[in-house]
Every structure is written in structure tokens, then in C-alpha cells.
Amino acid sequence: MPPRIVEVRQAVLKKNDLVARRLRRAFADAGVCVVSLVSSPGAGKTALLGETLRRLTPTRRVAALVGDLATDHDAVRLRASGAPVRQITTGTVCHLDAEMVERAAAGWDLGSLEFLFIENVGNLVCPSSYDLGEDLRVVLLSVTEGEDKPEKYPTIFATSDLAVITKMDLAAAAGYDDALARRSLADARPDLEVLRVSVRSGLGMADWFDRLNAARAEKRARIEV
Amino acid sequence: MHELSIALSVVELATEQAREAGASRVEAVHLRVGALSGVVSDALRFAFDVACRDTPLAGARLVIEEVPIAVFCPKCRAERTLRAARLRCPVCGTPTPELVRGTELELTVLEVDDNAPAYR
């Protein structure tokens, strides 16, 4: 007898998408703007996040979740800013999923926050498939890692809202070619916004904070409509 | 490598759907995998066999339909299929941010055997 055909037509990551939708609703109800950071290991996520928390903490209510395979070193480092930080240790899993975020954020009064940052595990492949309910997915690309990263890892760049080129203070020493990077980014996602920063020299940081404030303003406008 | 996580999600969804359809054994699982889904088909095939062990899917075939990236070119006003993840119209070179296809990661169909002994 021939097999019976069962039509399914559902997203494989339906479960993650459902949790992400629930998170997005909870974040909207709380009025918190959620920004996730993704990049390869060592591109400077923790440095950018550390400086961001340090500069925002005196005047804004911010918190962060940080994902790593092992250790709570990043959380310890980031807590020096005074902001509440929770570590998500994934064990062998190379990405965060919506359930991990939901579990880690449980018990936090989201309504008391203006910004929640989520630092993903350093990886340009796996995080691209998992929606975390964030408002802004930011992909980092450092000047030391090669301008053609967006071509090599198109999915993560195609699913991000903003690219931040980091370590600009090292651009000359690394022989970084901005035109090449721009072309590679545009090929991966033609309408991708791009910022250039150096946490160390402070270059471009004002633009970064402007972009964060704009994301929060956009979100508030969306909620109030 | 997150294909094992993806494969576990496939097995979970297929098991749930098979049970809902009253099927005891799944013979084949059909997926649509977009070129921009972030999933590598070969790695997924390898992970799938491992993920199926000791489930009603044990021994099931995985049939993957690879979906190329398709974009809409605003200048040509036409849909274009791309061979690489370079989002430009292959005919006129215009940047094409509008994706029509290529990001899907979807379980489309299960083939089930109603006469097989139930999995225990």
C-alpha cells in the first residue's frame, strides 16, 4: 500500500517563533526597547555593550542578557557598569533561542527598563535562524576580520537591521578597505544601515547612541498607535 | 553548526503532526530549505538520522527541496532567481532588497505508513 500523505506546511522553528512572538508582546507591553548583538567571536560585542551600559546607566534604565557557551566572565565584566546583567550559559548550543531569553528574563520587571540588550553567542551562522523577539538586530563586523564577511555569511547580514563596523581605530593598521566592506554589506542586504565606531577612541559612538534612541522612539510610536 | 538543533525541531514537529494525523510510523519527511535560511542541507541530513533515533521517525527518509533565492527587481519590475546570495538583479545590476523566496525552512509533507506496527 502506498504511504499516506499528510500535509503540514509549517515552519520548522514554529515553536521558537511562537515564543519570540510572546516575548515581543511582553516587551511591547513593558515599553522596553530590545536590541540584540550578533557577530563572530572577538568582533567586540562585549566591548561595545560594556561601553553602552557604562554610558547609559547614569541616566537610563538598562539591563543586559549575555550568551556564551561557558563561563560568566562577560556578565561579571559588564556588571562593572552598574547595570543588571544576567549570563545565559548555553553549554554546547551555539546560539540563543527565544526560550532561553524568556527563561533568563523571567522575574525581571521589564516595565522598569528602557533598554534591554541581548548579546548572542559569538557566531555568524546559527543565531540567524532564531528570532529572539528583539526590535533591532545589530550585526558587528570588526575591521580586523576581513571586509568580505557579509558575502561569506549572507544570512546573518540579510536578517539584521543595522551593521556596526567596530575597532575603527585599528582601520589603518589592519589595512581595512571601507569601499570593499560597503559593497559586501550592500550585496548581503542593500538597505542595511551601517555605522562605524571605535569604543576605544569614541569615534561614532554618538551616532550609535542616536540610533538606539531612535529605535526606542520608533517603538514607543508603534505602541501608542 | 546548529543543524542538530534544527533536526531536533524537525523531529519534534513531525512527531506532533504524525500523532495528530493518527499515524504510527513516518516514512518520509519533506522540507523546503531556502538558500538564505542559514541551514546547510548536507549537515541537516547527517543530523536528521541522529535526531530520529528512538522516535516514530526512526529510519525515515529526509527529502529536501532546496529553494533558491528569488528577489524582485524594482527596475525590471520582474522576479529574478539568484545563484549566489548577492542581492542584485542578475540582468540589470540594480540592488534588490525585496526577497521573494529563499529564507524558508518549512516542513511541507509527511509520508506515513498506517499499516506499520506502532512505535513504542
CA distance B117 to chain A (A): 14
In angstroms, what separates the C-alpha of A60 from chain B's closest C-alpha?
A: 35
Closest Cβ–Cβ partner in A4, A13, A15 for B23: A4
- pLDDT averaged over 10-residue windows placed end to end, chain A, 225 residues: 92 96 96 97 97 96 95 92 94 92 95 97 93 98 96 95 98 97 96 97 98 96 80
Calpha distance A137→A153 (Å, rounded): 15
Q: What is the DSSP letter of A223?
A: H
DSSP element (H, E) containing A139: strand A136-142
Whole-number pLDDT of residue B119 = 56
Q: What number does CATH give the domain B2-72+102-113?
A: 3.30.2320.50
**Order of strands across the sheet that contains B69-73:** B78-82, B69-73, B99-101
At residue B110, the 3 state secondary structure works out as strand
Q: How far apart are CA A132 and CA A130, in angstroms?
A: 6
Beta carbons of B109 and A12 less than 8 Å apart: no
- What pTM, to 2 d.p., does this model score? 0.93
List A118's β-bridge partners, or say none: A36, A65
Q: For chain B, list residues whose CB is within 8 angstroms of any CB belonging to chain A.
A: 1-2, 5-6, 9-10, 12-14, 17-18, 21, 23, 27-28, 31, 36-39, 85-88, 95-97, 99, 103-115
**What is the per-residue pLDDT for A92?**
83
List, as one string, the DSSP characters of A109-138: -GGG-SEEEEEPPS-SSGGGG---S-SEEE
In order of A94, A156, B83, the CA distances from A135 in angstroms are 22, 15, 31
Q: What is the pLDDT of residues A148-157, one digit of tens each?
A: 999 999 999 9
In the structure grid, which three cell numbers stand for residue B13, read together?
514537529
Q: Cβ contacts of residue B103 below 8 Å, gap of 6+?
A: A155, A158, A159, B34, B36, B37
What are B47-92's pLDDT values in tens digits?
Answer: 999 999 999 999 999 999 999 999 999 999 999 999 999 999 999 9
Q: How far is residue A199's CA from residue A177's CA, in Å, rounded to a whole number?
A: 19
Q: How far is CA A76 from the centre of its chain?
A: 19
CB-based contact A28:A113 (threshold 8 Å) = no
pLDDT mean across residues, chain B: 93
pLDDT for res B50:
93
In DSSP terms, B72 is beta-bridged to B79
* Domain definitions of chain B by residue range: 2-72+102-113
Instruction: Choose the closest CB to A12 out of B6, B18, B96.
Output: B6
Chain A residue with Cα closest to B3: A126
Rounded to two decimals, the ipTM of the complex is 0.90
Contacts of A121 in chain B (CB under 8 A): none
